[in-house]
Amino acid sequence: MPTLRLGRSFERVAEFAISAEHLAERYRQLFIIGLGELILVTGLTFSHGTFEPDRVTAVVFASATTALMWRIYIHRAGGLIAEAIAAAPDPHRAAVTTMRAHLLMVAGIVAIAVGDELVIEHPLGHTPSAWIIVILGGPALFLAGRGLFEYEVFGRVSRSRPIGVLVLAATSPAAFFLPPLLVAMAPALVAGGSRHVRSDRRGRG
Segment 140-190, tens digit of pLDDT: 999 999 999 999 888 889 899 999 999 999 999 999 999 999 999 999 999
Summarize the confidence of residues 130-147 as an average pLDDT: 96
Phi, psi of 177 (to 5 degrees): -105, 5
Q: Give residue 5's pLDDT.
A: 47
Q: For the segment 60-112, what is each residue's pLDDT rounded down to a tens digit?
A: 999 999 999 999 888 777 778 888 888 888 888 899 999 999 999 999 999 99
Phi-psi label, residue 17: left if phi above 0, alpha if psi -120 to 50, beta otherwise: beta
119 by Cβ neighbours in 10 Å (0-12 / 13-18 / 19+) ranks as buried
**Range from 48-52, 76-80, 119-123, 189-193 carrying the lowest mean pLDDT:** 76-80
* Ordered DSSP codes for 73-119: HHTTGGGSHHHHHHHSSSHHHHHHHHHHHHHHHHHHHHHHHHHHHHH
What 8-state DSSP symbol labels residue 5? T
Tell me the pLDDT tens digit for each residue of 11-41.
444 444 458 888 889 999 999 999 999 999 9
Distance CA 92, CA 17 (A): 9
Q: What pLDDT was estimated at residue 86?
A: 84
What integer pLDDT is reported at residue 18 of this predicted model? Answer: 56
159-174 b/e (C-beta count within 10 Å ≥ 16 → b): ebbeebbebbeebbee
